[in-house]
Amino acid sequence: MISFDFEYYRPDTAAEAAEIYQVLSGAGKNPLYYGGGTEIITMAQSNQLKPGAIIDIKQIPECNVFEVRNDEILIGACLNLNQAAEGNLFPLLSKTARGIADHGSRDKITIGGNICGKLIYREGVLPFLVADGEVVISGQNGAAARPLSEVFSQTMQLRPGEFITQLKVKRSYASVAFFSQKKTKQAKVDYPLLTVAALRQGDDLRVAFSGLCTFPFRSVNIEQDLNSRDLSWESRVNNALGRLPGPVLNDLRGSAAYRLFVLSGALRDMLTQLKGVGENVSNA
Amino acid sequence: MGAVGTGVPRKEAKDKVTGNIKFVGDYISPGLMHARLVTGTYAHALLKNIQTAAAWRVPGVKAIVTGKDCSFLTGAYLEDRPPLAADKVRYYGEPVALVVADSELAAKQGAEEVRIEYEPLPAVNSVHDALRPGAPRIHENLGEYRRVKPVFPETNSNIADRVKVRKGDMGKGWAGSEITVEASFHLPQSDHVAMETRCVRAEIAPDGRVTIHSSSQAPFVIRKLISRYFLIDTGKITVIVPAVGGSFGGKAAVQLELLAYMASQAVGGRQVKLVNTREQEIISSPGRIGLDAEVRLGATKEGQLMAAEITYLVDGGAYSDIGAVMTKSIAADCTGPYKIDNVQCDALCVYTNHPYTTSYTGFGHASYTFAIERTLDMLAKKLKMDPWQLRRMNAIAPGDTSPTLTGLTTSNLGDTGKCLDRVKQLINWDEGQVVTGQDGKIRAKGLSALWKTSSTPTDARSGAILTFNPDGSLNIGVGAVEIGQGSKTNLAVMAAERLKMDVGKVHVMMEVNTHAHPEHFKTVASMTTFMAGRAVLEACDDIIHQLLSMASIVLRCSPEDLDVAGGRVFLTDNPNMYVDITELVHGYKYENGNSIGGQVIGRGSYIMRHLTEMDPETGKGNVGPGWTVGAEAVEVEFDPGDFTYKMLKAVAVLDAGKVINPRIAQAVVMGRMNMGLSLANREGLIYSGSGVVENASLRDYKIMRFAEQPQYTVEFIETPQIDAPYGARGLGEHGLIGMPAALGNALSAAARVELNQLPLLPETIWSVKEGRP
Amino acid sequence: MFQMLDIGPLELNVNGEKRTVVARPADTLLYALREHLGLTGTKNACETGDCDVCTVLIDGWPVKSCHMLAVEAVGHQVNTIEGIKGSPVQTAFLAKEAFQCGYCTPGYIVTAHALLTLHPDAEDEVINEWLAGNLCRCTGYQEIKEAVLMALGR
Ligand SMILES: Cc1cc2nc3c(=O)[nH]c(=O)nc-3n(C[C@H](O)[C@H](O)[C@H](O)COP(=O)(O)OP(=O)(O)OC[C@H]3O[C@@H](n4cnc5c(N)ncnc54)[C@H](O)[C@@H]3O)c2cc1C
Ligand code: FES
Ligand code: FES
């Protein structure tokens, strides 16, 4: 039970949403955009969040598109994870989304909400990080597409009043070789000890992680190591382990040392599955 | 018309698949008030100040109760627990205050406004910490606490109880031992995770009558304790328990009922509902014990067990509740089902600043069984002997004695050997304990035998009242609660069998009402079939006696000439001469209006016989009416690369005595196996360095989910227990007992490393392999 | 733009009937169903989205009612266990003894009923995916699996 009150708005257009945000914000109501609501409801129940108003964006048409337009795949931010997985326009997203929470929760969790959430994992962002995705951000001044790499750094860097209406990736990413692996402490439905999402673009591997540090990330340095074709897999993995962008999580799901052990296994699995073009198997 | 041994569906089945069944929290009544707990946020701290002013300002808040408002201590054996913490909190999540309001919302808002100031104290975070010299005292006045039953707390220590078992002569035992092994074990505390969280409604009528509705296994204990602590005659207290949404021992403890009563009292007796959130369910209400164990076994070169020296340290948490009894129960069965002539066991119920604990399916047996059965596998290795063979040759048998020196007979003891034989076949043991596949994965099997007797009070009792409806159908009135174990259906089956009637015509009521139903000790210890069954059968015999004597008048013959079956009383030698029982059960009426006999009401009762307390120095005593024994096995597929594993198969063979209802028996055993594997494979409370529980939600406290379970096989052997109804032994908990050990043995074999702690996570195996602490 | 600013009447479509509840914008659908409409077949066991005992169907899809606001359900078809009558899933659960205490059962039946409707040909992988959210502490899950397979005609 949520023990404080908030107002509920369900705008029909993105413009309306941005507008009501301004109004509510001006009135000191501390509004929040509301996607699936799974995080907002959970955190509100324990008073970790106390919005005075929520703006449910699920009715906004552009937030619900899921289609290929020209050479782009458009993914509405309010698609729930099951829709995103079952529609299967972007297989890496389908696979990664299927690893998040459980089926019933995925009927409610939206892709936008997952990426913009407070939870440290935000696994839904990984496919977009490795696929050089773009986000369409709506706000007071209308909508604009921005490269994800510019607006996602540990968390989504949105200005007050902005929200995501869509995500985009190049259509070509739907057909490249990919890898998505979620490792948990024991239970299948659990937060990740580690989730790796990767794809092969030409000869190069791109890889992003969740569960390793307190934020999801893609790291150019790690990719460089993993793509050093002159080194053995073992050395590449070892080098990569030394280039993590922050301290490794050490929590009730697993110790930092164990996470690193799991990571090296996952990276080896990834290399096995996504061997670069022309790569010599004997490198293994 | 045999009903026993056939698969009778549960009586309440339809209600359960349509959402029609009602649990305590499903009753919505106008004017209902709501209470909400405020719980402590330190594992050990002095309560300096509780500020309630802000909470009082929340509209709708009608009362706030704190430890100052209740002056008594409560406890099942040792009264050591204030219902609301008064001077200090002793575990993280301990109830400190209770806010009562006219809506659930206001109660929660009020609870959020209560401010508590603490002065933190060093927390005792393990049993070893607790026993260290100079350890902080959790109960400063341990020596002054009232003892309700035999229990031996040690003043100036953190020991709530110490139980000793001394059998044979240890000197002789060790002298005869050519091979010895010893090992230490650590099992964390865990939680019942019944899907229905505990829930109570309480009200006090203007004339002082108290009515409590509770999701409880122990309505009669609630009545007793409400009477004891609030000085109300038991006759003025009615406790009602509808269907219970799973309990596993956890709802045998009396906790929220006392609080709900105080809440109702604080608002002039109005009906108040108190329900645990999941978090409170996990930490504030009692969970499952932790155990640290040290086991030393000695055997001859041929593998005959000669000596066992055992220390069990029970992590009972901050209050002893049923911990003392559980410690006794563990000590009494301390060796597992093996013949060992020289046994020394010290079992201590230790206080820590962890959540307190209570009974749990298996009553401590799964914990010590893990230690014993793991040690046996280590011994087998040292002896270069097949682990199955080691168990088989030492399996306890009639003629042997239990650790507490009870003589074992073919009646009070099931056939462990037979169970082991069958398990061996079912798990295909002869294929080899460890088989490495083409893909490098390792398939491995592990075994465990098990036994358990109940540890009820020596005067535990049950009763039954049977009445008839005008259509000749029967109503069973018993005080045993339906917690999902199907016992009401089983009682109906037994009554139908004895009265030779259609089980469809036997009605049971899900609800127990202490005013209407005869007392039943508690619905625990797998004793419902035994105790309530005995009472129901006696009541059936009473009915038969009444029917025969009335019918003998009607049919003008002697009662000995008659029999009852199929709804008729008839002449044995001429079944065509009969009277329908519908004509008898409310008195027989002659054509001229004269009537005889009156209503047929069956009464039956049962009280445990020959049980004794254990001797404080040697443990000698007769703790239970009989042992259910069994053997279990688990097969895993282990990946030596990343230490993950899949559970492929789990097998249980139990000596049921007699299977009353195969459908329910199979299902119940399988469910407990699943729980045992879940406990072993992933569960355990996790504490911070200061004793704060870090996984008090289902997001972080994981239990087994659909599709993670192995393939289960459950079979029964039938060695009747002569004094039990139809020979049936208790079965409700035993499926759980051997599972953690069997899994531990399978994984230890697969990973070639001794895994002596739970839970068995891939990280656990990795860290033992790596030699990490 | 639809808005709800304060406690007030909400019109919900539940089990094919129009029902009005007086709720707060912050009330969950679970709370509204149980406390306002007395539809207590839908249970509560965590309120954090971790157990699925509160599952209801929204336009035919299983959704955890503790993770949905009552106001979000406006304009959608809500179906609870009380609205599911004579489903082959119920028959199969009875036949396979797929429950003990019964507390988790409504959630299972609702989820499995949706599975049967939306994926009548579901293979093991889909069945496992759909049902892995529902916790049961009493059974061994095996009998639940058997019941679902039976309901699917397998
Ligand atoms: C049982 C369970 C298990 C879970 N396990 C995992 C897991 O393993 N890994 C994982 O990554 N997640 C997991 N989650 C999901 C996670 O915890 C969040 O609940 C979820 O990602 C939030 O999505 P939502 O659509 O419900 O967001 P909401 O609750 O609606 O919103 C979350 C935040 O994002 C903001 N927001 C929402 N949509 C937008 C938008 N379009 N633009 C800008 N801001 C927006 C909101 O303002 C809010 O701050 C799990 C959830 C549950 C219930
Ligand atoms: S109560 Fe909704 S998922 Fe548990
Ligand atoms: S039957 Fe009790 S929780 Fe599933």
Inform me whether the pLDDT recorded for A282 exceeds 70.
Answer: no
Residue B526 has pLDDT above 80, yes or no: no
Is residue C29 in contact with ligand 2, taking CB distance under 6 Å? no
> Which of C80, C103, C119 is the C-terminal boundary of a domain?
C80
Give C7's contacts in chain A (Cβ within 8 Å). 5
The CB density around residue B722, as the number of other CB atoms within 10 Å, is: 11
Architecture of domain A61-174: 2-Layer Sandwich (3.30)
From C51, C54, C110, C139, the mutation candidate for ligand 3 (largest count of ligand atoms within 8 A of CB) is C139
Instruction: Give me the residue from A4, A9, A189 closest to C26, CB to CB.
Output: A4
Q: Is the pLDDT of residue B23 over 80?
A: yes
**Nearest C-alpha of chain A: how many angstroms from B763?**
7
Q: Tens digits of per-residue pLDDT, B137-161?
A: 999 999 999 999 889 999 999 999 9
A contact residues 41-80, partner B, Cβ 8 Å cutoff:
47
Which of C37, C52, C80 represents a domain boundary (last residue)?
A: C80
From the CA of A123, give the closest atom in ligand 1. 11
Domain ranges of chain A: 7-56, 61-174, 178-274
C68, part of any domain:
yes
- B59 cis-preceded (ω within 30 degrees of 0): no
| Residue C20 domain-assigned (yes or no) | yes
> For residue C145, what is the enclosing H or E element?
helix C142-151
B290-456+611-769 shares the fold of B31-121+192-283: no
Kindly state if the Cβ of A114 falls inside 6 Å of ligand 1: yes
Query: Chain C interface, mutation test: which of A7, A45, A102, most C Cβ atoms within 10 Å?
Result: A102
Regarding whether C135 and C98 lie in a shared domain, the answer is yes
Q: What pLDDT score does A280 carry?
A: 46
Beta carbon of C100 within 6 Å of any ligand 3 atom? yes
Any chains having at least 3 CB pairs less than 8 A from chain A are: B, C
Same domain? C59 vs C109: no
Is residue C145 domain-resident? yes
Would you state the pLDDT for residue A276? 56
Average pLDDT value for residue range B7-27? 92
C98 Cβ below 6 A of ligand 2: no
Give the ipTM. 0.98
CA of B199 from ligand 2 middle (Å) equals 16
Task: Inform me whether the C-beta atom of residue A281 falls under 8 Å from chain B C-beta atoms.
Answer: no
Of C42, C100, C104, Cβ closest to residue B667? C100
Contact assessment for residue B439 and residue B380, using Cβ atoms and an 8 Å cutoff:
no
How many beta-carbon pairs under 8 angstroms link A with B? 46
pLDDT tens digit sequence for A198-231? 999 988 999 999 999 999 999 999 999 999 989 9
Helix (H, G, I), strand (E, B) or coil at B734: helix
Nearest CA in chain B to C88: B17
From A19's Cα to the closest Cα of chain B, the distance in A is 32
The answer to whether residue B525 scores a pLDDT higher than 80 is no
Question: Domain for residue C66, yes or no?
Answer: yes
**Subunit contact B706:C132, Cβ cutoff 8 A:** yes
- The stretch B347-351 carries a mean pLDDT of 98
> Is any Cβ of chain C less than 8 angstroms from the Cβ of A12?
yes
User: Does B460-607 carry CATH code 3.30.365.10?
Assistant: yes
Distance from Cα B240 to the centre of ligand 1, integer Å = 42
Nearest by CB to C109, which of B17, B105, B668?
B17
In this model, does residue A281 exceed pLDDT 50? no
CA–CA gap between residue A262 and residue B637 (Å, rounded): 19
pLDDT tens for residues C97-140? Answer: 999 999 999 999 999 999 999 999 999 999 999 999 999 999 99
Ligand 1 centroid, distance to A124 Cα (angstroms): 9
Nearest chain B residue (CA) to A263:
B642
Q: Which residue ranges make up each domain of chain B?
A: 31-121+192-283, 290-456+611-769, 460-607
C101 lies in the same domain as C145: yes
Which H/E stretch holds residue B118? Answer: strand B115-120
Quote the CA–CA distance of A189 and B181 in Å, as a whole number: 39
Question: What is the structure's pLDDT at B623?
Answer: 87
Tally the residues of chain C.
154
Residues of B in contact with C51 (CB under 8 A): 195, 698
Subunits adjacent to chain B (3 or more Cβ pairs under 8 Å): A, C
Whether the per-residue pLDDT at B433 is higher than 80: the answer is yes
The first and second tokens of residue B172, run together, are 């002789």
Residues C14-43 pLDDT 10s: 999 999 999 999 999 999 999 999 999 999
* Site from C82, C100, C125 to mutate, B interface, most B CB atoms within 10 angstroms: C100
Q: How confident is the model at residue B67 (pLDDT cuts 50, 70, 90)?
A: very high
| Partner B contacted by A252 (CB < 8 A) | yes
H-helix or E-strand spanning residue B229: helix B219-230
pLDDT tens-digit series, residues B676-692:
999 999 999 999 999 99
Q: Which fold has domain B290-456+611-769?
A: Aldehyde Oxidoreductase; domain 4 (3.30.365)
Report the residue from A3, A185, A257 with minimal CB separation from B109: A3
B612 at C interface, C-beta within 8 A: no
For ligand 1, atom 19: residue with the closest CA:
A39
* C-beta neighbour count of C152 within 10 angstroms: 19
The number of the ligand 2 atom at minimal distance from the alpha carbon of C64 is 2
Residue B18 bridge partners (DSSP): none
Which chains are adjacent to chain C, needing at least 3 Cβ pairs under 8 Å? A, B
User: Within this chain, do residues C76 and C93 fall inside the same structural domain, yes or no?
Assistant: no
Indicate whether residue A113 lines ligand 1 (CB < 6 A): yes
A184 CA: distance to closest CA in chain B (Å): 10
For atom 3 of ligand 2, which residue has the closest CA?
C49
Domain with C68 in it: what CATH number?
Answer: 3.10.20.30
Question: What is the model's pLDDT at position B135?
Answer: 97
Q: What is the mean pLDDT of chain A?
A: 95
Q: Of C50, C80, C110, which marks where a domain is finished? A: C80
CA-based nearest residue in chain B for residue A189: B705
Distance A114 CA to ligand 1 centre (A): 4
Instruction: Give the DSSP letter string of B757-771.
Output: BSS--HHHHHHHHTT
Q: Of C40, C131, C139, which has the smallest distance from its Cβ to B22's Cβ?
A: C40
> What is the number of domains present in chain C?
2
Q: How far is the CA of B445 from the centre of ligand 3 (A)?
A: 29
Helix (H, G, I), strand (E, B) or coil at B620: coil
Assigned fold of A7-56: 3.30.43
The two structure tokens encoding residue B767: 């860290």
pLDDT digits over B390-419, tens only? 999 999 999 999 999 999 999 999 999 999
pLDDT of residue B500: 96
B346, pLDDT greater than 80? yes
**Residue C37 is assigned to a structural domain of this protein:** yes
Cα(B535)–Cα(B522) distance, integer angstroms = 14
What residue numbers bound the domain in which C16 lies? 9-80
| CATH number of the domain to which C106 belongs | 1.10.150.120
Distance from the Cα of A133 to chain B's closest Cα (Å) equals: 30
Q: What is the DSSP letter of B632?
A: E
d(CA C75, CA A242): 53
Domain spanning A178-274: which CATH class is it, in words?
alpha beta
How is residue B616 written in tokens? 């404080």
Residue with tokens 């109503």: B475
pLDDT at B255 (0 to 100): 98
Q: Are B352 and B319 in contact (CB under 8 A)?
A: no
Name the residue among B225, B214, B185, B263 with its Cα closest to residue B81.
B225
Contact A41 C67 (CB under 8 A): yes
Q: How distant is the Cα of A101 from the closest Cα of chain B, in angstroms?
A: 10
**How wide is the angle at C-alpha B183 spanned by C-alphas B390 and B404, nearest 5°?**
65
Per-residue pLDDT tens digits for B581-596? 999 999 999 999 999 9
Residue among B524, B535, B546, B526 nearest B478 (CA): B535
What's residue B1's pLDDT? 54
pLDDT at residue number A123: 98
Chain C contact for A186 (CB, 8 A cutoff): no
Q: Class of the B31-121+192-283 domain?
A: alpha beta
Listed in sequence order, the residues at least 6 apart from B723 whose beta carbon sits closer than 8 Å to its beta carbon are B411, B625, B626
